[in-house]
Amino acid sequence: MNNHTESEENYIKALYHLGGDDVVASGALANRVGAKGPSATQAVRRLASKGLVEVIPYKGVKLTLDGLTLAKHILRKHRLWETFLVEKLGFGWEEVHPLAEQLEHIQSHELVEKLAEYLDSPVHDPHGDPIPQADGKIPPAIGKPLQQFSEGSTLKVVRVEDAGTDFFTQLDHLEISLGKEYTLISISSFDSSIQLNTESGESFWLSHSMSSNIYAIAL
């Protein structure tokens, strides 16, 4: 009961990401894992038979406690590997997600814990996202989305949501990275896009979908 396929783990991950331990619609799930509806229905059934999810037909799916534990454990592995790739192997933070997606499926508790130790038991990954700990606890997430700052405030970017590659390409293009400081000039009341000033005085706009994945603290 402790050995899962890669596909199963991907569904579990998706469920966690989409809803934590809340109910998720099978369509949304299928979408997230890049499959079609029926595949998700079927997959979810397999997961249910392993006690990892609860299904309410025509309503949605929900992680059980076991499923939740597994999800957090996979996320722990993912973020530890990302940390390793960036800090030890010198990868850029924008390249590591797809690699970690492979590495997170490696099966060995001992390996995970030795890796954590080797990295000095990190609490945040290279994107600033919290790394679930061995006991299942999740460190507090740092920063607030840019929208929640008032115009004129000075802020420091401390975290970005570990999303797709195109998101990072955009970030790189705008030369946004962790630790950088900006002044928030204005928030469009029309489409919620945000205007930032860099330290060197240049100004640029961020779409809502961009800025809502960028987290900062006030200075």
Q: Which residues bind DNA (CB under 7 A)?
A: 5-8, 10, 25-28, 30, 33-44, 46, 55, 57-60
Size of the site for its own copies (CB under 8 A): 17
Interface with its own copies (CB under 8 A), residue from 103, 131, 187, 210: 103
Asked if 106 interacts with its own copies (CB under 8 A), we say: yes
The one-character DSSP state at 146 is G
Percentages helix, strand, coil for the chain (3-state, rounded to 5) are: 40, 20, 40
| Burial of residue 21, with CB atoms counted within 10 A of its CB: 0-12 exposed, 13-18 middle, 19 or more buried | middle
Work out how close the CB of 107 gets to DNA at its nearest, in angstroms, rounded to a whole number: 13
Q: Which residue has the tokens 């130790």?
A: 117
Cα distance between residue 35 and residue 59, in whole Å = 19
SS3 215: strand
Work out how close the CB of 37 gets to DNA at its nearest, in angstroms, rounded to a whole number: 3
Work out how close the CB of 2 gets to its own copies at its nearest, in angstroms, rounded to a whole number: 15
Among the residue ranges 25-33, 60-68, 91-99, 192-200, the one whose residues contact its own copies (CB under 8 A): 91-99
150 neighbors 184 (Cβ within 8 angstroms): yes
Q: Please identify, using beta-carbon distances, which residue of 116 and 187 lies nearer to its own copies.
A: 116
The one-character DSSP state at 50 is T
- Residues at the interface with its own copies (CB under 8 A): 85, 88-91, 95, 99, 102-103, 106-108, 110-111, 114-115, 118
